Each structure stands twice: as C-alpha cells, then as structure tokens.
Structure 1
Amino acid sequence: MELSTDQIDYIQKDINYRGIVYDQLEEELLDHICTLVEKKMEDGARFIDAYDQVIERFGSEQQIQHIQSQTLILSNNNTKIMLRNYFKIALRNLSRHKFYSFINVAGLAVGLACCLVITLFVMDELSYDDYHTKKDRIYRLTSHGAYGGNQYVFPVAPAPLAPALITDLPEVEKVVRFRSRGSYLVTTPQMTESYKEHKLIFADKDFFQVFSVPMLKGNPETALKDRMSLAISRSIAQKYFANEDPVGKTMILDGAQEYHVTAVYEDMPANGHLQFNFLMSMASLEESKNTEWLSNNFYTYVLLREGTSQSDFYQKMNAMAAGYIEPQLIAFIGKTMKEFEEGGNKIDFKVQPLNDIYLHSDFIFDIGPIGDISYIYMFSAIAIFILVIACINFMNLSTARSSNRAKEVGVRKVLGSFRSHLVRQFLTETILLCLIAFALAIALASIALPFFNELAGKNMALPVDSLTFYAIILGCALFIGILAGLYPAFFLSAFKPINVLKGKLALGTGSSFIRSGLVVFQFFISILLIIATATVYKQLNYIQSKKLGYDKEQVLLVNDAYMLGTKMAAFKEELSQLPNVANVSISGYMPVQGYNRSDMSFWEQGLEPTEDNMVNMQIWDVDEGYISTLGMEVVLGRNFNKDIASDSNAVILNEAAFKAYGFEEGKENFIQTFFYDYATGQTRPDKLITYRVIGVVKDFHFESMKENIGRLGMRLRPSVSTLAIRFSTSDIQTVISSTEDVWKKFTAELPFNYTFLDSDFGNMYRAEQRLASVFTIFAGLAILIGCLGLFALASFMAEQRTKEIGIRKVLGASVGKIVFMLSKEFSRLIIIAFIIAAPIAWWASSTWLDNYSYRVEIGVGLYLLAGMMAFLIAWLTVGYHSVKAAQANPVDSLRSE
C-alpha cells in the first residue's frame, strides 16, 4: 500500500519537528521511514500506528541522530574512495553498454566538432577591423540620395568632401580617402617580366595615422605625401626585391607609371576589410583635386576627435555640405537646395562606424571583402541546433534506459547509498562521456578545419596552444555534462527501492512524453535544414539557368589588353582570323561585377535639365562587335557601324532606359548630358554633348540578381582593358593556347591573363554557393546525429518490447504488422515535426529570397519532398531494429517468463 501525499507530508513535518533529521540525509531518512510504514500498513496496521512502530524501532531520538552523524562522518572520510568508485562504475557501465556509449560519444563529438568549427568562423567574422586601435573613432562616409525618381546608395563620397571636413569642422581630426583604378601590371627596372596585381589603391597621406598598420621601413608621416610615392606590404617587398631594401627603389605600373617606394608596412590582416599591398599617394591622382560635389568616387574615412558625438557630426557635416552643393545645383539644374528637396529629392551623407562596415554593408560595390550579418545568425543557429540535437540524443537514451537501471538503484539504496551519491554517480557518467566526446571533437575539428577553410575562404586554426581554450573546453564539457545528465540523474535516484525490487516501477508517461518531444524537435530541425538547403540550391540553379539577356557561355576574356597600346587593332584582327572564333570585342565594360562602371544623368534633347526629366543611367563604352560577341538582342533599330561617322555620337539603350525617357518606336530620339572630363573628374555645366538613339537592346542583367535591371546606354568609344572572344568549339584548351600564342607574338614580356565570362558570372554568387555547400554539410551532419539517436532509441524500444513482440507472433501477428506497429509511433512524431517546421521554413526561405529581385518560386512540392525525406530517413533508421525484432524467434523472447 502506497502512502498518500498528506501522509508523507505528515511524516516529513513530524521528523523535522522532533529535530531528529540532518538536512543532508532528510531525503534518505524520509524514504526509508515511508518504505517501512507502507510495509506495516500492508500487514493491516493503521497509518498512525505503523508510523509510531517504525519510529520506536529506530530507538531514541539521540540514537537516530548518532547514526546519522556517523553516516555523514563515514561518507566524508570516504570521499576519495567514493570518487574513485564513481569513475570505476562509470567506466564499467560505458564498457558494458558499448553500443549506447558509442552512439552517445559519436553524436556528441560530431555535434561539438561542428559547433567548434562554426564558433571559430563566427568569431573570425565578428573580429573584422578590431585590430585598429582607434576603431571607435573611425567612420566611413556613404552617399544616399534621390533624384528624379532615381535612388542611389554608394559607399563613396565626392572628392572635395574630405578637404572641406578638415577645414570647416574642428570635430574632424584626420580624413583619409581611397580611390581604386582596378588592377595593374607591375614590374621593376631590374625585372624582365610583369606581374598582375589587384590589391592597389590610391590613399591620402594620413593613412598610417588613422589605421593601425605597422610600418616596417620608412616614415609613416611622409610615406604618402609626395606625388608618385608608393608604400608596399612586406610580402610585396619580398616578392619584388627579395632581401634588398625596397625604400628608394622604383616600381613601374602598367609599363609607364614610375613610382618610388617610400615605405614598407606589415601585411594587412586577413580579418580586415582593407586588404591592400600597394598604397599609391593620392597626390599622384589628378582626379583627387576636383571640386565636383555631385560626383561620388572616393571611399572616405574620418577620424573624429575624442568625445565627438556621431549624430552631432552627421548633422554638422550635412549642413556644411549643403552650402557647397547648392551653387553647383544652381549651375546644373537651376535650383536651390530648398527647391531641390521640395521636389522630393535629397543628397545625404551618412556615417558608418568602422566595425559595421564588414557585416552591415549592402552596396553594389565596395572597397574590400564584405560579409553578411544574416549568415552569422544562420550559422550560429545551426551550431546551436546541432549541439542541442546531440544533447537531446543523450537525454533520450538516458531516460529511455532508466528502467534497465532501476533495480541497480533499488539495490544501492537498500545497501545504504544516499540519493546524493546516486546523483553524483550518474552525473559522473555523463561528465566522463562529455569529456571523451570533447577530446574526440577537438580531433575531428582539427581534421575538418582545413576543408572548411577552403570552403569558406578562411585561414582559421584551433588555438591549441592557448590555456584559455582548454579551460573553456573543460568548462563547456562540465556544463553540458551536468545539463544533459541532470534530469536522468535526479529521475533515476528518486526511485523507491521497495517498489523497484517488487517490480512495481512504472515509468509513466512523463519520460515517454519528454522523449517524444525531443524526437519531434530533432526532426523539426532536420526538416528545417533540408528545406533551407533545397531553397538555396533552387535559387542558385534558377540564377544559372535564367535567361540573362546575353549569352555567357563560350566567351573567353583576355585581361590587360590595354597594355598592347597601338598594337591593339592588329591583335584583335589576328584573333578574329583564328579557327572557331566567331566574334571579338574590346571593352572594359562586361555584364558581371568586377569590371568598369560609369553612371551619368541624361535628358531628352530640347528640354531643360530638371529632376522630372533627367534620367540617371549606366553609360558603357563599347566597340561595334560588343553586342554580337555577347549574344545580345537588338529589339529596335540597329547595331553600331564603325563605317558610319555619325555613330561616334550615337547611343544604344536598353529597354529600361528607353521606357524611362518615354520614347516611342518609329521616332528619331536624342539625349543630352553635360561634358565630363574623366581625367580630372570635373563636369562642365556650360558644355553639352548630344547623342542620337540608334537602337534598343533587350534588357540584360549586368549586376547581381539581387538588383533590378537598371537603365543603361552604350556608346561607340574605345575602352580597351578587356578583350572578349566568342568561340564556337568545345575544345576550350585549343582556343586558350591559340589565343596565348597570338598574345605572345605581340608582347612576349607581358603575362597572359584570362578568365571565362560564365566563371566571372558564377563568382558573383560565390557567397551563396558557399552558403549552399555549408548548409548541405551541416544539414547532413544534423540529420546524421539525429539518426544516431533515433537508431539507438529504436533499438532500446525494440528491446523493451521483446516479450510483447513474442506474444504477438505466437498469436499470429505477421512481420509486416509488427514492423508497422514499432514504426507507427515515430511516424506520428515526424508528422508533428513537419507540421511545425513547414510554416517556419516557409517564412525563413521567403525572408532570404526577398534579397533577390529575381527569385525562384518555392512550391508545395519542395515541402512535401522534405517531409518524405524525413519519413524515409526515420523509417530506414527504425526499420532495421523493427525487422530484426519482428523476425526474432518468440521462443527465445518468452523463455525467461
């Protein structure tokens, strides 16, 4: 007969009132007294009589206290023995149940290794630009504006903004501008060959006073002060000058520009958005002296003085800028700043903290490598999910196997074990398992890290020489071990020995409900990751297969063609005579990121330029073979013809630009713009250029599909940085080698650099490709860890129901029915997981796809496929044990009865 709650409360209050119980032994004493009282009541005694008889058997209150005191003394004296015993028993249990131990260790180790790798990645991403000692006072100025319905957001600012800030605002301590002019061919007078270099930039003289880049040779205050001065990185100094001192030496850029090396600085860290090997003095660039406030070309960084408020500086800067901009607005469009803004237009310079640049920038172009904070959130969530799934496996198996250890608990309690001893025993087992798993996780992470680095474009390493690292690992192992083993430890140690030994133990629905909830959570995460991975792959496939408006296949791009100079025409002509070469074109403007871009405002001829009729669009300089080489479609008018002299002032628009001007078919149309001097970056409001619209090409994508197709015009002008060759053969190697032979014929001393248009197109989506690969790997690992736990859980449940299965087989149940019976419970759980995961996956996928103006439609089929995959995975995992149990001989399972 079991005691009621009121009766147990009565006993607890009475022994406390009598003062005969020590706090450390209250649970053990209460449990022992209740067990003896229940036994007396089963013999027919009333509760109160049974309780009095039990207390009398213990003896006097002093005797009870003495026994407890001696027990505690003995327990404390035997602490070392007990700890040794805990570990010994833990090792025996792990060894006895090798299968379950392996599942627990493997699942935890893989989960922890994934978590460790992702943590390193996240920490690396979050550490960008932290090495600058003045980072809290460094800001980048960005341009935000609206004009005539056109919106623009650029990470660059006008050239005259920097000197105006120094002159007019005392809050500004230093200003540094950067201006990129692309890649260069670099050599020295002593060298016979040139090297293609990409990390070059013009920089203002105060660079080393603002940014924390250590100077190895030279004076940081004067290194970039004079014209044609150049500071180079340590690796470049070693590459071009070996062991010589580069300071004072000459380097030749693009075969003509001679720069004098004034300094050598330490290589800029990989975890910074500024990564340049050549810093050319801004004084060398004529464009840096222009006074045009309506042209944005310079990356501009300010170092504010101590105590300056970012918001105050923002207000003062824009008020100051408005005073300089207004005269130019009046000159160009005849409007004051007030009239300009009343028309719904704006010119605004925003302030971006240095530490926000890498993860919080979303510009079409930028100065260096840029990350995405959303990916940090995604990877962090995946790491947490995988770790939680690994811990869930442990808790599932521990609670499920609790009935197998119930008798062990009962015997231990009868032999005098305290509940606290049992809790420590079970926690010791979980902590030991976690320590083994963490050691294995470090080994797995070390093996996996090189592959992850290659995938993510990183150079991370485990800090194995750091004591802090091991302290954190140990702390995490203890924390996870305690957290994962807490419920099983207290659950198991609470069993009453008399009920256990009588076989009356009933686990009830509580632990089963928890196990079911944890399985649902596992498959919820798995289904979520399957859908997320499939969504990313479908979008990437959509991007690759979507009609772009041009043909990116079989186009070879030869870089640095401008170095041929006067030989360019002959080089192009000879290439066009090669077998299997269909078309050849020369232009620095290609419809993928990384090539020239230039935007200007135009308006229809005969109108005064206002915000209502000015159209801002890209203007590209191309030759007569450009459209045919890139496979574009002329939908109105005609292509350029070099034999028609007037085509030098002609323009071909895309459909978006044609509609923006409101032009109609069948009419002759002209557009105008202000004269712009590219050398100085100056616009002449007193001088206009007129272009005749001779054709319209079908809209084509020239930026990422995250952007809408913008307005674009092409004009017949030389732009000789890149040569495009359309070939008509599958023998790509022959095309490359024959093109290289022609190149060497014209310039043997210059390197032959080439790419393919389709590979450059793919590079625009490298981040998405990496995301898809990482998602696939971690989704697979999450599913694998979940399957390990499900596999072990199914094994245990089949073991628990062995006698039931035997009886069912004796009564005529088929193997199929038994397999269905064992799998039915898991199927229900997967359906619940799918119902929860589907709407969340839809929301997450839609949010990510919102970044793209051109996106794939995700139908119901993808979600059903993910659910079916989860079913298949679960059934294959559970099916093995189900079939094995169903095919077992019932005689063997019933014999012990």
Structure 2
Amino acid sequence: MFKTNLKIAWRNIHKNKGMFAINIIGLSFGIATCLLISLFVFDELSYDRYNEKADRMVRVVFNATINGEQMKEAVTMAPVSAAFIEDIPEVLDGTRIDKLYNPKLTYNNTSYRNSKFAYVDPNFFEVFTLPIVKGDALTPLAKPNTIVITTKEAEKYFGNEDPIGKQLVLERNGDHRFTVTALIDEVPSNSHFHFNIFASTEGYAPAKSTSWTDSGFFNYLVLKEGTDLAAVQKKVPALIEKYMGPQIKTEIGISYAEFTSKNKVNLVLQPLTDIHLKSNFTATSQIEQGGDIKTVYIFTAIAIFMLLIACINFMNLSTASASKRAKEVGIRKVLGSTRKRLIIQFMVEAFMATVIAVVLAIGIFMIAFPIFNELAGERLNIAYLLKPQIILILVGFLIFIPFLAGGYPAFFLSSFKPIKAIKSKFSGSGNNNLRSGLVIFQFIISALLIVATLVVEQQMQFIQQKDLGYDKDQLLVLRDAYLLGNDIDALRNELLADARVSQITQSAYTPAGNSDVSMSGIFLNDQFLRRMFTYDIDDQYIPTMNMELVSGRNFSKDFGIEDDKVIINETARKALGFGNDAVGEVFVRDTNDGKKELTIIGVVKDFHFKSLKQEVEPLIMLNNPYGGLIVKVRSKDMSGLIEMANTTWLHYNAKEVFDYFILDDAFNETYVSERKMGYTLTLFAGLTIFVACLGLFGLVTYTAERRIKEIGIRKVLGSSVSQIVTLLSKEFLKLVMIAFIIAFPLAYYIMKNWLQDFAYRIDLSPWVFVSSALITMFIAFLTVGIKGIQAASVNPIKSLKTE
C-alpha cells in the first residue's frame, strides 16, 4: 500500500514540477536557515556547561550605587570567596582568578608575549573541570611559583622537551621564576575565559589582601546541591556589613548604617551559565567580551519564522491548487477510497517533499556555513552538524514539517464531496481567507526584518559620524613602547623627525582599544564624593588627540612638573558641583600614598572614552605620563610609517615583538557584535523575503492559471498588459499593505527596546518605515508583475480554447 502511495506521490510531483520546485526551494531554504541558527543558538547556550558542577556554580559580582555613581562590575574584593565559605553554610567551595595583561615570559633567553596568563587559587582545578593530562593531578598549584600550562602553549616555549619541571621567568616588578607542574588541554571554546597559563596565588601578594573596598579578583563559588540561590542571596547583606562595615568606618569616617542610608551596596550571585550571555558589565571588568541573550532571542525568532514561512508556502500552494485535484479526489472516493487513505496519500506526498527539502537544505547549509561564520564572526565547526541535538532537529523536521505543512491540505483536500468534485463544481475559494492570512503573516515578518536591518545600519552610521570629542583618525598606538625603557625618547624623536608624523604623546590611556583603566576616590570638603576615572597624560595628549579645552589651559613644561594640577572633563565639573569656570577650584584625590590636594587648571570638552552604550563619566587627567606612544599621522602612508617604526624598534630592542594598533580600527571593534548582527540580519531578511516571494509567485501562478479564460476574454475586449497585471497584483498588494499596518508598530516597539542599549542613539525616523514599505512593495510587485506579464502575454486564442 505504501509503495502505491509513493508511486502516486511521485506522479503528482512530476505532473506539477513548477509548483513542486517552488515548494521545495522555499522549504529547503527555511530548513537550512533553521539549521544554521540552531547551531549558533546551541553554541551560545552551551557556554561553561562543560563544568561538572556548572549547575551549582556562581560568580560574585559587585552592584552598587554610591553618591549617584552606578557601579556594576564582575571584579570583586580578594577576601570575598573565603568570607562566603566561612559565613554561609550553603557555600561548599570557592576559587578566584586574577588576569595579567600582556606578560613577558622568558625561557632559555628567549622572550615571549601574548600569553593569556592568570593567577588562580590552588583549588582552581577542583572547581573548574579542566582535567590534568600530565604531571601533578592532585596538587599542581599547592606551592608558590608553580604553574599549569596548556599543551599547545607548552609547545611554544619548550618544543619537544618535557615541560614538567621546566621554569619560565615572568618579568614583572622583578623576575619571578615559575615551575611547570602539570599540563591541561586547551580550555574549551565555549568557556567565558581562555587562559593558557595558570599560576598559583600562593605567594602572590594581592591574593592576601584583606581589603573590602579594593576590587581585583573574579570570585567563584560552589553551592551545595539543591541550594536555593535566592535564599543564599538574602544572606549576603549581613555578610557585607560584617566585613565591609568596619573598613568603611575607617576609610570614610562614617558608620556602615550612615553609608547605606544614602548608598546601595550588594554582591550579586550570578549563575556560571549566565556569564556569557547575561553579563551587562563594563568590558574592562570582564575576562572576555561575551555574547548577548537578546541576539540569541532574535536569531531564534528568525529561525522559527523562516521555517513557518516555508511551511506556510507549502500549505498555501497545496490548498490553492486544490481545484486541480478535485476530480482525482472525487474519482478515488467513488472507487472506494476512504478519507483516511486519502489523508495518508497527501501526507506521504508532504513527507516526500520534506525528505527532498531536507537533503537540499543540508547541501545549502554546507555552502552557506563558511559564509555565515565569516559574516557573523563565529567559530562554529561543520562537525557540529553531527551533534545529537542537530540530528534530533533533522528528525524533528521529517516528522513535524509534513504535519505542519501537509496536515491542513491533506484534511482539506480529502473533505471534497465526490459528486461536486467530479463535476468540477469546487472552486477552491473556500480557503481564501486562510491563504490571505498566511500571506499577511509572511510579509509581517519580512517587513519586521527589513526595519530591523535599516535601524541597525543607521545606528552604526550614527556611531561612525558622532562627534566623539576627539579625532580618532590617523592615530597609531604603540602601546608597548614603554618596554624600550630609556630608549623611548629616542624612538619618539626619530618618529617626530619623519615628515609623516605631526604629533606624539605618551600615555597608557586610549579612548578605544587596549587601555589602562584607573579610578580614584574623590573627596570634597573632607567628605567622600564618589569614584572618578583618571587618565595619566603628558602635555601633548590633548593636542595630539585634537581635544578641545573649554576653559583654562593645558599642562605645560613652562610651569614645571605640575603633579598637583589636574584637568577635568565637563561631566566631572558638574559632579564636583563647580560652575562654568572651575579653574582654580580644589578637591582631594585618594592615592596609594594618602590623600592629595589637586587644583584644576583646565576643563576639557567631554569626550567618549567608553562605549557609546554608556554615558560619558567624570574624568580627571593628571600630568603623569607613562606607558606607550600615541602617534598622530598626517600622511595617508600609514603602512609605510608602521614599517619605519618597526625597523626603528628593532634597532633599539630586538628582544621584544613590535606591536601596534590603529585607534580607528580599535574603535570599530568596540561595536563588532552590533555590526555582525547587522550583517546577519541583512542576510536573513533577504532570505525571508526570497522565501516569501517564492510563495507569492506560486500563488500568482495559480491565480493566473485559474483565471486564464478571464484574462483571454479581457485581452480580446481590449485590455492592455498593464491593466491585466494591475488586476492580478491588486489583491496581493492589498495583503502586503495590511501586513505593514501590523508589522510597523511591532517593529517600532522591538527596535526602540534594542536602541535602549545605547546611551547615544538615533531617533526612530518615519523614513525607516517608509523605506521598508517601499522595499517590500517593490519586491512584491516585481514578483507579481513578472508572472502577471507572462500571463497577460499569452495568445488569447490559446487561453480561450476548449479543454
């Protein structure tokens, strides 16, 4: 019986090759898109789940509002983990990470940089599931100056030698010798950190700190199985008061109760598996830049909608062509076929179409996979296709799609009355409302995606064109120039002698890219005010960055060292409560050597030294230059200057690798996730429109065939091709217009919420929606018009011939 069903299905497919091709192409693109996005979503949701204790691990994050300053940071105080273990019974264990920036490591007189180095507690490998593959598997970090290293990193330093027992020298405030005690494999790609050297905190001075006011460590806790996280969180305020309260009294001079009457301080327990997608912290307070749960939600919705649109096409075209099969259904019923057998027949046809579509979808997936990786900046592997979840999805497609796409047509077609069907009295119009509704749904999704794509693109253009308060173009940053020691001035002079260079400043602080980050407590009238960001600069920083002084003057060698003078930005002036002319005003900064009084000599126009997702914050600029060089290039020959700087660098220090970045590129990288989202939205919006138009094309094809005699008569009576095209287009374009009425309010709500992530953003212009409408209408009209012109061009004699 099943064999007969397959034969009939194949004959029907062969008989209606055009409609079948439209169905299969749309369905295969929908499945391929769903596969691609499923891989992305599964990968994003899998972060940190490789840890055996992942479901009961948390990270402690700092969340506070102090004197109006919002503080949300992933780094917390050194003694936090120990305090939680001591005071809260539900906490079984805890461990810490302190990352080190760009360490210089030496082995056999050869120096290396760019290792990802972290200090971790001795129990780190008991908390995180990173199995030891060689060496001391029980206590690899129990002693001071011991390290665990990845096998790949070990090859870089030791080649084919056995790394166990070998020593690496860390040059940082003197030489520190670390002995390799164990090897691990690479940290899994779906981890929120990817260190390749783990050093013991035993003997590491910052790890012994008892301060509850200075942050610097990433603290992780392991909870007992079955622990209610909310219940543990309720115990945290008492713990903070116990340990932080006395230090607040000592440092600020007021009781903890007084302090918290005006301020809020909390340590929030963040589930480990939420870190990658739900960490809305400053980039500088995170180990690595994570993902965004909103992106996962958006892409999941696109995958579902894309599949639904493809299935809708199948339903639309199957039911629309019902009148063609009316006689077949009538005859088969007269010959004894039951409705159940007819339903099975139509479901078999849907199943066959789905199987063919899945095979084609896998082919499309294989072609599109590297393109998606490139556009979205992902690192997905083709082997992911063999993951159990993906195989399960493919099996689900084979079961779910035939029922979703073929179920309604099967029940609809099998319900025809045999007498009416044989007499061809069935018009197929009974399901017009459903078909219209499905077309509207398709174009609602299409319009939504077009609006989203246009808004993302406009926001990215706004970011590029916004006045940042400094000139990011033609700035070459030699961040590691400080490694030259006393030769840094010689390098500066040689660069200044080059005609391509206009100015140079020395500072470790840049508004974009790798930069030092410093904050200081600020006091006014003997009262703690708030923390403020600090920049250590020289007298050339402001002119090199082309910043604007709104009052006062710049630092100058003519006035000596000026280490008790400061330049502030406009936001700091407001935070300090000074008027428009703050020059000459005094405030106090907390330093490692105690409190120091500073006099304002200038106010610089606000500039964006953080992402445009955040408001400009108060900033003070100190005359204390250190770090690398920032070079303003007047020539377009940036590559030639970089080559010259590299040659000069090697002349002074052949042991260190020459490294640089261009500030404009670093600025663009800040918004790389938004750009990737824009690229992928454009791709999927195009695919969605394509699949929707395939369905529209099929429906117009059916309509034209059903009205072929009417078209012939109209032509004989003098109707032009344009009039006939208008006749065929009017019905469908009306549905597209209805889709706009529903889609645009939804798009406005969704994109307004997305823009809330940016402190500086565009306004949603009506032209975004007008443009989306014009694009969609043009594509729809083109789709309908092509088939309409073809139908209107048929010789009316052929149209009017008797069947």
The two structures share one fold, judged by TM-score above 0.5: yes
Any conservation in 2 of the 1:161–1:321 contact (CA below 8 Å)? no
Provide the rounded CA distance (Å) in 1 between the counterparts of 2:471 and 2:396.
57
Provide the rounded CA distance (Å) in 2 between the counterparts of 1:409 and 1:861.
51
Equivalent in the alignment of 1:671: 587
Equivalent residue in structure 2 for 1:341, among 260, 278, 300: 260
> TM-score, normalised on structure 1?
0.86
Question: For the structure 1 residues 801 and 254, does the alpha-carbon distance in structure 2 shift closer, same or farther, using more than 3 Å as the test?
Answer: farther
Answer yes or no: is 1:289 the counterpart of 2:196.
Answer: no
Answer yes or no: is 1:692 the counterpart of 2:610.
Answer: no
Structure 1 unaligned residues grouped into runs of 5+: 1-81, 678-686
Q: Describe the SS at the equivalent of 1:618.
A: strand
Equivalent residue in structure 2 for 1:481, among 384, 402, 406: 402
Question: For the structure 1 residues 248 and 644, does the alpha-carbon distance in structure 2 shift closer, same or farther, using more than 3 Å as the test?
Answer: farther
Equivalent residue runs for 1:250-261 within 5 Å = 250-254=167-171, 256-261=175-180
Answer yes or no: is 1:716 the counterpart of 2:623.
Answer: yes
The share of aligned pairs that are identical, in percent, is 41
Any conservation in 2 of the 1:654–1:698 contact (CA below 8 Å)? yes
Equivalent in the alignment of 1:644: 559
Any conservation in 1 of the 2:520–2:591 contact (CA below 8 Å)? no
Any conservation in 2 of the 1:201–1:279 contact (CA below 8 Å)? yes
Equivalent in the alignment of 1:451: 371
Question: For the structure 1 residues 307 and 480, does the alpha-carbon distance in structure 2 shift closer, same or farther, using more than 3 Å as the test?
Answer: closer
Q: Describe the SS at the equivalent of 2:696.
A: helix
Question: For the structure 1 residues 795 and 543, does the alpha-carbon distance in structure 2 shift closer, same or farther, using more than 3 Å as the test?
Answer: same
Equivalent residue runs for 1:647-658 within 5 Å = 647-658=562-573
Distance apart, 1:369 and its partner CA:
3.6
Distance apart, 1:470 and its partner CA:
4.2
Equivalent in the alignment of 2:152: 235
Question: For the structure 1 residues 567 and 588, does the alpha-carbon distance in structure 2 shift closer, same or farther, using more than 3 Å as the test?
Answer: same
Q: Describe the SS at the equivalent of 1:647.
A: coil
Equivalent in the alignment of 1:706: 613
Q: Describe the SS at the equivalent of 1:283.
A: coil
Aligned length: 797
Q: Describe the SS at the equivalent of 1:726.
A: strand
Question: For the structure 1 residues 594 and 285, does the alpha-carbon distance in structure 2 shift closer, same or farther, using more than 3 Å as the test?
Answer: farther
Distance apart, 1:97 and its partner CA:
1.6
Provide the rounded CA distance (Å) in 2 between the counterparts of 1:617 and 1:93.
74
Any conservation in 1 of the 2:61–2:72 contact (CA below 8 Å)? yes
Answer yes or no: is 1:845 the counterpart of 2:732.
Answer: no
Question: For the structure 1 residues 150 and 574, does the alpha-carbon distance in structure 2 shift closer, same or farther, using more than 3 Å as the test?
Answer: same
Provide the rounded CA distance (Å) in 2 between the counterparts of 1:172 and 1:524.
50
Equivalent residue in structure 2 for 1:617, among 532, 539, 550: 532
Distance apart, 1:476 and its partner CA:
2.1
Distance apart, 1:167 and its partner CA:
4.2
Give, as a single letter, the amino acid of the residue that structure 1 aligns with 2:151. R
Equivalent residue in structure 1 for 2:279, among 349, 353, 361: 361
Equivalent in the alignment of 2:638: 732
Equivalent residue in structure 2 for 1:826, among 732, 738, 741: 732
Question: For the structure 1 residues 336 and 578, does the alpha-carbon distance in structure 2 shift closer, same or farther, using more than 3 Å as the test?
Answer: same
Provide the rounded CA distance (Å) in 2 between the counterparts of 1:705 and 1:88.
62
Provide the rounded CA distance (Å) in 1 between the counterparts of 2:387 and 2:302.
26
Equivalent in the alignment of 2:548: 633
Any conservation in 1 of the 2:571–2:619 contact (CA below 8 Å)? yes
Any conservation in 2 of the 1:406–1:500 contact (CA below 8 Å)? yes
Distance apart, 1:170 and its partner CA:
4.5
Answer yes or no: is 1:881 the counterpart of 2:787.
Answer: yes
Question: For the structure 1 residues 324 and 546, does the alpha-carbon distance in structure 2 shift closer, same or farther, using more than 3 Å as the test?
Answer: same
Equivalent residue runs for 1:516-531 within 5 Å = 516-531=436-451
Give, as a single letter, the amino acid of the residue that structure 2 aligns with 1:763. E
Distance apart, 1:778 and its partner CA:
0.7
Q: Describe the SS at the equivalent of 1:688.
A: strand
Equivalent in the alignment of 1:47: none
Any conservation in 2 of the 1:186–1:197 contact (CA below 8 Å)? no
Equivalent in the alignment of 1:548: 468
Answer yes or no: is 1:218 the counterpart of 2:138.
Answer: no
Equivalent in the alignment of 2:78: 159
Provide the rounded CA distance (Å) in 2 between the counterparts of 1:386 and 1:513.
22
Give, as a single letter, the amino acid of the residue that structure 1 aligns with 2:270. Q
Q: Describe the SS at the equivalent of 1:768.
A: helix
Provide the rounded CA distance (Å) in 2 between the counterparts of 1:359 and 1:480.
31
Provide the rounded CA distance (Å) in 2 between the counterparts of 1:735 and 1:190.
30
Give, as a single letter, the amino acid of the residue that structure 1 aligns with 2:353. L
Give, as a single letter, the amino acid of the residue that structure 1 aligns with 2:422. L
Provide the rounded CA distance (Å) in 2 between the counterparts of 1:893 and 1:146.
77
Q: Describe the SS at the equivalent of 1:297.
A: strand
Which 4+ stretches in 1 moved above 6 angstroms? none
Equivalent residue runs for 1:82-101 within 5 Å = 82-101=1-20
Equivalent in the alignment of 1:756: 662
Question: For the structure 1 residues 487 and 734, does the alpha-carbon distance in structure 2 shift closer, same or farther, using more than 3 Å as the test?
Answer: same
Give, as a single letter, the amino acid of the residue that structure 2 aligns with 1:518. L
Answer yes or no: is 1:507 the counterpart of 2:428.
Answer: yes
Equivalent in the alignment of 1:786: 692
Any conservation in 2 of the 1:189–1:250 contact (CA below 8 Å)? no
Equivalent residue runs for 1:807-826 within 5 Å = 807-826=713-732
Distance apart, 1:852 and its partner CA:
0.8
Distance apart, 1:518 and its partner CA:
0.9
Provide the rounded CA distance (Å) in 1 between the counterparts of 2:75 and 2:389.
41
Provide the rounded CA distance (Å) in 1 between the counterparts of 2:768 and 2:37.
27
Equivalent residue runs for 1:277-676 within 5 Å = 277-306=196-225, 308-342=227-261, 344-365=262-283, 366-454=286-374, 455-463=376-384, 465=386, 469-470=390-391, 472-508=393-429, 510-604=430-524, 607-610=525-528, 614-664=529-579, 665=581, 667-676=583-592
Q: For residues 52-102 of structure 1, what are the alpha-carbon distances to aligned partners after superposition, in whole Å with 9 as ceiling and x for unaligned?
A: xxxxxxxxxxxxxxxxxxxxxxxxxxxxxx211111111111122221111
Equivalent in the alignment of 1:890: 796
Any conservation in 2 of the 1:575–1:739 contact (CA below 8 Å)? yes
Question: For the structure 1 residues 816 and 635, does the alpha-carbon distance in structure 2 shift closer, same or farther, using more than 3 Å as the test?
Answer: same
Provide the rounded CA distance (Å) in 1 between the counterparts of 2:396 and 2:81.
50
Q: For residues 636-675 of structure 1, what are the alpha-carbon distances to aligned partners after superposition, in whole Å with 9 as ceiling and x for unaligned?
A: 1111123422412211101100111122316511221223
Question: For the structure 1 residues 136 and 490, does the alpha-carbon distance in structure 2 shift closer, same or farther, using more than 3 Å as the test?
Answer: closer
Question: For the structure 1 residues 284 and 894, does the alpha-carbon distance in structure 2 shift closer, same or farther, using more than 3 Å as the test?
Answer: same
Answer yes or no: is 1:207 the counterpart of 2:120.
Answer: no
Equivalent in the alignment of 2:49: 130
Question: For the structure 1 residues 743 and 671, does the alpha-carbon distance in structure 2 shift closer, same or farther, using more than 3 Å as the test?
Answer: same
Question: For the structure 1 residues 260 and 623, does the alpha-carbon distance in structure 2 shift closer, same or farther, using more than 3 Å as the test?
Answer: farther
Question: For the structure 1 residues 474 and 222, does the alpha-carbon distance in structure 2 shift closer, same or farther, using more than 3 Å as the test?
Answer: closer
Provide the rounded CA distance (Å) in 1 between the counterparts of 2:243 and 2:367.
59
Any conservation in 1 of the 2:500–2:637 contact (CA below 8 Å)? no
Equivalent in the alignment of 2:92: 173
RMSD: 1.8
Distance apart, 1:551 and its partner CA:
0.7
Provide the rounded CA distance (Å) in 2 between the counterparts of 1:471 and 1:170.
41
Distance apart, 1:329 and its partner CA:
1.6
Any conservation in 1 of the 2:551–2:583 contact (CA below 8 Å)? no
Distance apart, 1:198 and its partner CA:
4.8
> TM-score, normalised on structure 2?
0.96
Give, as a single letter, the amino acid of the residue that structure 1 aligns with 2:619. L
Distance apart, 1:489 and its partner CA:
1.2
Distance apart, 1:695 and its partner CA:
0.9
